[in-house]
Amino acid sequence: MKTTRYSAIALLAAVVLTTINARAQDPLPSWNDGPAKQSIINFVEKVTKPGSPDFVPVPERIATFDNDGTLWCEKPLPVQVYFALDRVKTLAPQHPEWKTKEPFASILKGDPKGLMAGGERGLVEMLMATHAGNTTEEFEQIVKDWISTAKHPKTGKLYTEMVYQPMLEVLAYLRANGFKTFIVSGGGIEFMRPWTERVYGVPPEQVIGSSVKTKFEMRDGKPVLVRLPELNFFDDKGGKPVGINQHIGRRPIAAFGNSDGDLQMLQYTGAGSGARFCLYVRHDDDLREYAYGRKDHLAKLDQGLDEAAAKGWTVASMKDDWKTIFPGEKK
């Protein structure tokens, strides 16, 4: 009787200790030990320690993440571009004029260069225009269907399998420490929301992105929102702090990006009072992912790198700091 009771206590103690150990062991197992990993942990520990001069109350623990190139692979082209290319092909039979009209003609010939010619803003506007006409619920279903089947041109994996394992760990680690994690992306808000909760644990109301205007109307007696072929908001560069203020209404205390398009978000985050954390993911691993940065066309990281050095922001090298890049890879 006595033995049984002690065994039960020992078992209970073992369970409790194992749980505590597992938690204490390593919140970021896919990160190599080094200054980048340590800077993340140091920041989280100081803002969450009660009584610390850097302590931040839970409601103010806001962290924002760029998506393309920060949470998932954006090469050879941003995923949403492949989605748009497929949309153009799907819709082409209803648009015979596209055969001679750019950028559609190039796209239908399998050459995405025409699409890229207008630069980043032109790209987003074009994306938005090809995404319009549906109700928001129809569009959500189109995205869900596409994202569950479309494959990366080089790896043949689903795009949602090409998210960065080390960043999934950062998202989970922050949330386990009372942070609300937000996505702040130049990509379309309604292109991300159908899958960010499942893939990143980020619910739709914590996704900020570029958008088309929508209009409330009755269709067959049912109230719907119709997507209009008109840009509502372009969530890039100086637009990112604007979008953050519009959606969150608080200055983040941590921000994560990978290009100069994220610079203003990092500046805005870093300039608040109290402890702040800014991190750039640096794409320097041509073997396991892609190497690009200073001179890239769509996702240049140039001014941002200089500013990171000057301000002491963390720069995480994919090559040196990440044990694995994608989920399920061997360490």
Binding site for its own copies (CB under 8 A): 59, 62, 136, 180, 189-190, 193, 197, 203-207, 211, 214-217, 222-223, 225, 232, 238-239, 241-242, 245-250, 264, 267-268, 271
Q: How far is the CB of 200 from its own copies (least distance, A)?
A: 13
Contacts of 32 (CB under 8 A, 6+ apart): 320, 321, 322, 323
Report the C-alpha gap between 40 and 29 in whole angstroms.
13
Minimum CB–partner distance for residue 147 and its own copies (Å): 15
Shortest separation between residue 267's beta carbon and its own copies, angstroms: 5
By beta-carbon proximity to its own copies, the closer residue of 31 and 191 is 191
Of the two residues 113 and 222, which places its CB atom closer to its own copies in the complex? Answer: 222
- Strand 180-188 and strand 207-219: the pairing is parallel
Contact 181, 63 (CB under 8 A): yes
SS3 category, 289: coil
> What is the crossing angle of helices 165-176 and 35-48, to 10°?
20
d(CA 46, CA 38): 12
- Between 49 and 198, whose beta carbon lies closer to its own copies? 198
Nearer to its own copies, 80 or 264 (CB): 264
Nearer to its own copies, 27 or 252 (CB): 252
Asked whether 283 and 293 are in contact (CB, 8 A), the reply is yes
Smallest distance from its own copies to CB 214, Å: 5
To the nearest whole angstrom, how small is the minimum distance from the Cβ of residue 5 to its own copies?
26
How many angstroms separate the CA atoms of 169 and 41, rounded? 12
Cβ nearer to its own copies, comparing 130 with 269: 269
In the complex with its own copies, the residue whose CB is nearer, 207 or 318, is 207
Distances (CA, A) of 274 to 44, 55, 171, 313: 13, 9, 21, 15
The Cβ-side half-sphere exposure at 133, using a 13 Å CA radius, reads: 7
Provide the minimum distance between the beta carbon of 190 and its own copies in the complex, in angstroms, as a whole number.
Answer: 7
Beta strand 254-257 pairing with 277-282: parallel
Phi, psi of 29 (to 5 degrees): -65, -20
Q: How far is Cα 268 from Cα 278, in angstroms, rounded to an integer?
A: 10
Kindly state the DSSP code that residue 60 receives in the 8-state scheme. Answer: G
d(CA 39, CA 257): 16
Nearest distance, CB of residue 268 and its own copies, angstroms: 5
State the nearest-atom distance from the C-beta of 319 to its own copies, in Å.
31
Given the complex with its own copies, which of 75 and 237 has the nearer CB atom?
A: 237
